[in-house]
C-alpha cells in the first residue's frame, strides 16, 4: 500500500476551501495551517501563465524528518503516511529544520504537528478532508499500488510533477500539469 495525492493545477481555482476544511477537521490551532495554497505567475504581460497548487506535507518516501528525529516520534504509518506520535515528540525542532517544504509547525502544546492525510478518515473509507471538500474535485487521493485507484488512474493519464524532487525526498504529492 502506498498512499499518494495528486492535485490538478489546471482545475484548482485557489479558493482555499481545502485549507479551511483541514483546519476544521483536524482542530488546527488558530494561526497555524497544515496546508496552504500557492499561486505561481510566470512570464510577462500579456503572456502570463498561472499555476495554482494546494500544498501540504509530501509524505516523502525518503523523508528527512523521519531520518533526523531523535526519538522516533516521526515515523511511517501504514501506506507510507508520515506521522508524529505526540507523546514521543520532545519538540526539538529537528524535523522542522529538515523539511525542505516547511510543511511542519510547532503546535502550541509543544509537540510538532503536520498533515496526516486525514488518516482517521482514510481508515473508515473516507477521503481526506481537503479532497472531500474540494468544489472543483481537483484533489485525487488513493493507493498507488492499486492500479484502479483515482490517483493511479489520473497519474497514468496526465503529465505530473513533484516539488523539489532534487532534494531527494521522493515526494508523494503530485501536481498534474
The binding site for another protein (CB under 8 A) comprises: 14, 16, 19, 31-33, 35-44, 52, 64, 67-73, 86-94, 96-102, 104-106, 109-112, 163-164, 166-168
CB atoms within 10 A of CB 136: 13
- Min dist. Cβ of residue 142 to another protein (A): 24
CB 148 within 8 A of CB 16: no
Sequence-distant (≥ 6) Cβ neighbours of residue 86 within 8 angstroms:
73, 109, 111
- Please, what is the minimum distance in Å from the beta carbon of residue 43 to another protein? 7
Return the number of the residue (94 or 144) whose C-beta is nearest another protein.
94
Write phi, then psi, for 142 (nearest 5 degrees): 170, -165
Nearer to another protein, 156 or 166 (CB): 166
Cα Rg of the chain, angstroms:
16
Nearer to another protein, 67 or 161 (CB): 67
Based on CB atoms, which residue is closest to another protein, 59 or 104?
A: 104
CB of 144 to another protein, least distance (A): 24
Q: Which is nearer to another protein, 55 or 143 (CB)?
A: 55
Residue 148 Cβ, how far from another protein at the closest point, in Å? 32
Smallest distance, Å, CB 146 to another protein? 30
- Closest to 26 in 3D by CA, of 121, 155, 158: 121
Handedness of CA 27, 95, 131, 12 (dihedral sign): positive
How many residues belong to the chain?
177
Grid cell at residue 83:
506521522
Amino acid at each position: 500500500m502506498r498512499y499518494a495525492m495528486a492535485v490538478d493545477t489546471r482545475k484548482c481555482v485557489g479558493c482555499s476551501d481545502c485549507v479551511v476544511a483541514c483546519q476544521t477537521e483536524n482542530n488546527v490551532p488558530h494561526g497555524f495551517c497544515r496546508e496552504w495554497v500557492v499561486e505561481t505567475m510566470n512570464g510577462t504581460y500579456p503572456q502570463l501563465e498561472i499555476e495554482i497548487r494546494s500544498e501540504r506535507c509530501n509524505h516523502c518516501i525518503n523523508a528527512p524528518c523521519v531520518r533526523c528525529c531523535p526519538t522516533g516520534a516521526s515515523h511511517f504509518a501504514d501506506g507510507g503516511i508520515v506521522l508524529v506520535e505526540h507523546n514521543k515528540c520532545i519538540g526539538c525542532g529537528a524535523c522542522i529544520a529538515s523539511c525542505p517544504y516547511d510543511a511542519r509547525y510547532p503546535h502550541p502544546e509543544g509537540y510538532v504537528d503536520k498533515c496526516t492525510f486525514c488518516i482517521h478518515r482514510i481508515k473508515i473509507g473516507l477521503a481526506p478532508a481537503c479532497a472531500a471538500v474540494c468544489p472543483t474535485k481537483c484533489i485525487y487521493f488513493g493507493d498507488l499500488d492499486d492500479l484502479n485507484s483515482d490517483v493511479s488512474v489520473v497519474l497514468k493519464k496526465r503529465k505530473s510533477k513533484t516539488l523539489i524532487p532534487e532534494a531527494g525526498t521522493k515526494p508523494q504529492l503530485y501536481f498534474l500539469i
